[in-house]
Amino acid sequence: MSTQTAPSRVDFEVLLPSFRKYWYFVGATALLSFLASLLEGFSIGMLIPFLQTFTEGEGSPFTTGITWIDTYVLGVGASRLTQMYYICGAILVATWLRALFAYRTAILATVSRSRIVEDLRMRLVDQLLSVNLSFYSKTRSGQILNSIITEIARTTTALGIFFTVVTRGSLLLVYLGLMFWISWELTLFVLGLLVVLSLGLTSLIQRVREQGSVVTEASGTFTERISEFIAAIRTVVAYNRQEFERNRLETSVNDLAESVVETTRRTSIIRPLSEAIIGTLLVVFIVITVQFFVVSGDLGIAFVLTFLFALFRALPIVHEMNGLRSNWAENRAGLANVAALLRREDKPYLADGTQSAGPLRDGITFDHVTFGYRSDDPILKNIDLHIQAGKMTALVGSSGAGKSTLADLVPRFYDPDEGRILYDGVDLRDLVQHSLRERIAVVSQHTFIFNDTVAANIAYGRPGASPEDIRRVAKEANALDFIEDMESGFETSLGDKGLRLSGGQRQRIAIARALLKDPDILILDEATSALDSVSEQLVQQSLDRLMEGRTVLAIAHRLSTIQNADWVVVLEDGEVVEEGPYSELLARNGHLSTYHDIQFQLAGS
């Protein structure tokens, strides 16, 4: 997964569905924000008739030309004191309505942001569930975790900035509209100064934006290293590499801290610089206003004071907007990172079929199958093989021969680059993936145990299984004794990755899980290779029960475990070099015979 420095138009298109899903929240936020801003503008605009009411020499009172407004809102025709009551009453009503709308706007903005981020998180989960497994072999897990945890948090901040711009921006537009109504010449002058300021800050904000991508990269590196450190803690301690790992982590922590400090340094200068420049320009503006508009009589004092009041209310928003620009530049790389993970066109997917997989009756056929994790480096080469239903087929070969890769093609973890794999004559690509995998169970040497109870781990492939069924398969898997010896029996939590279990116990939990699923097809990937002789015997007994009446594809490291196989296939360098019954292959004095002699000579010595 590539790291991007800033979101492009395509990135925003990737994120747009989450906005569309909650468009009513976003729309309501914008509408209430605009209404609150209009009420704020109305309150400030009422200063003109209020000031005129108590300013000598202003002539006739301020009117709008709309009879009911002039009569019931401005109190035109009444005494000056009564006019004050009318105007103050209107200001109070507008003020409280604005407070109510502003409160609702804040709530809706938070709801909108939270719902959008929730949808983004679930879209990331759906993406990770639907993508081909080859994606994980090419993408560092730390970078994925960084996107889901850290970059989503930065995305939340960026969305908060967006909604702040909506609410504060609408208020700024109302202020500018009121100022433009009072004097378009002064307003254009002010806008000209603000544009000059904005252009002057652009280069600084660009540097903040570039630094934001550095933070993303440093955060990803740190997340990757700390997750790897936690996963490998036993190996770190066993090889006495604590100091080495500490130094690596210290380097990544320092890099992350330095990138954050540098970003803060660049961000922090923007607001004080903006305030200093605007303060200077404001003094110039007041001098020009008094000299060319007040002294000449072009603007009454009430209009000038209202203009200045609106300007003073607008300037903090301008400062805030400049600060938001720098914050946006700092966090927008998070948006780009999330969008990159959500983008579909650059990731591998398996197209689902339409036919449901029924019980396997004839077998699984490899028809001229070639496959590699990289297109230029095939692991399997022109494989022709038939796995007969109801029989045990064993795969034998040296490390790297392609045994596990061949087995991974059966549950369609990957698709062949060339050729076909047929399930009772039907291409696997034409089958509904869910229906195919429902008929398959895998027991490998690397069994994953979830941080959950014993019962939940056994029932993982069959949610809702009864306690009686769970207990039954645990007994068949030779796991019942050690489970009942635990403090809470089947309700005992096994901890992170099942570290409380021995290797043999983990394998028996995995076998119980497979027994409960009751599959048609069983894939055994060197399920006993890492066990001691006692554990291997217990596991092998439970495997024998599991294999009864099923189609079995067994990858064997120890030949003693597959001597009773119905068919043995020997792989070398991704090709089938011989196949047949175990005894016949031994009699040929070929590859299997060589493996057999080596293993049993080593066992005898």
pLDDT one-digit tens code per residue, 375-421: 788 999 999 999 999 999 999 988 888 898 999 999 998 899 999 99
pLDDT at 462: 85
- 468 pLDDT band, cuts 50/70/90, is very high
Tell me how far apart the alpha carbons of residues 73 and 46 are, in angstroms, rounded to a whole number.
10
pLDDT at 205: 63
Q: Which CATH architecture has domain 445-518?
A: 3-Layer(aba) Sandwich (3.40)
Check pLDDT > 70 for residue 339. Answer: yes
Tell me how far apart the alpha carbons of residues 32 and 36 are, in angstroms, rounded to a whole number.
6
- 357 pLDDT band, cuts 50/70/90, is very high
The more confidently predicted of residues 189 and 580 is: 580
- 202 pLDDT band, cuts 50/70/90, is low
* Signed CA dihedral, 25, 29, 30, 32: sign only: positive
pLDDT averaged over the chain?
81
pLDDT at 18: 85
Candidates 446, 504, 447, 445; CA nearest to 479 is 504
Instruction: Please answer whether residues 539 and 527 qualify as being in contact, where contact means their C-beta atoms are separated by less than 8 angstroms.
Output: yes
The one-letter amino acid code at 199 reads: L
Check pLDDT > 90 for residue 279. Answer: no
pLDDT at 423: 94
Candidates 342, 383, 265, 448; CA nearest to 7 is 342
DSSP codes of every residue in 476-538: HTT-HHHHHTSTTGGG-B--GGGTTS-HHHHHHHHHHHHHHH--SEEEEESTTTTS-HHHHHH
Check pLDDT > 70 for residue 52. Answer: no
Reduced to 3 states (helix: H, G, I; strand: E, B; else coil), residue 59 is coil
pLDDT at 605: 47
pLDDT at 3: 46
pLDDT at 367: 94
- The residues spanned by each domain of the chain are 9-212+268-342, 353-439+521-532+541-605, 445-518
Instruction: Please answer whether residues 475 and 545 qualify as being in contact, where contact means their C-beta atoms are separated by less than 8 angstroms.
Output: no
Tell me how far apart the alpha carbons of residues 517 and 547 are, in angstroms, rounded to a whole number.
13
Tell me how far apart the alpha carbons of residues 169 and 144 are, in angstroms, rounded to a whole number.
35
Check pLDDT > 90 for residue 596. Answer: no
List % helix, strand, coil for the chain (3-state, nearest 5).
65, 10, 25
Check pLDDT > 70 for residue 552. Answer: yes
Is it true that 9-212+268-342 and 353-439+521-532+541-605 share their CATH fold?
Answer: no
> What percentage of the chain reaches a pLDDT higher than 90?
16
pTM for this entry:
0.68
pLDDT at 57: 46
- 368 pLDDT band, cuts 50/70/90, is very high
- Mean pLDDT over 584-590 rounds to 87
Tell me how far apart the alpha carbons of residues 566 and 560 are, in angstroms, rounded to a whole number.
14
Classify the phi-psi angles of 491: left when phi > 0, otherwise alpha if psi is within -120 to 50, otherwise beta: alpha
Assigned superfamily of 9-212+268-342: ABC transporter type 1, transmembrane domain (1.20.1560.10)
pLDDT at 306: 81
Check pLDDT > 80 for residue 74. Answer: no
The more confidently predicted of residues 216 and 503 is: 503
Check pLDDT > 70 for residue 208. Answer: no
Cα dist from 586 to 497, 564, 566, 578, 592, whole Å: 40, 13, 14, 11, 6
The more confidently predicted of residues 96 and 218 is: 96
pLDDT tens-digit readout, 433-462:
989 989 988 888 777 888 888 999 899 888
Tell me how far apart the alpha carbons of residues 26 and 355 are, in angstroms, rounded to a whole number.
42
End-to-end CA distance of the chain: 50
- 56 pLDDT band, cuts 50/70/90, is very low
- Mean pLDDT over 310-315 rounds to 81
Tell me how far apart the alpha carbons of residues 315 and 312 are, in angstroms, rounded to a whole number.
5
Q: Which of 97-106, 207-216, 332-341, 398-407 has the lowest mean pLDDT?
A: 207-216
Check pLDDT > 80 for residue 228. Answer: no
The one-letter amino acid code at 509 reads: I
Instruction: Please answer whether residues 219 and 155 qualify as being in contact, where contact means their C-beta atoms are separated by less than 8 angstroms.
Output: no
Tell me how far apart the alpha carbons of residues 412 and 429 are, in angstroms, rounded to a whole number.
8
For residue 134, the tally of other CB atoms under 10 A from its CB is 17
The more confidently predicted of residues 542 and 457 is: 457
pLDDT at 294: 66
- 63 pLDDT band, cuts 50/70/90, is low
Give me the CATH code for the 353-439+521-532+541-605 domain, please. Answer: 3.40.50.300
pLDDT at 234: 67
pLDDT at 424: 93
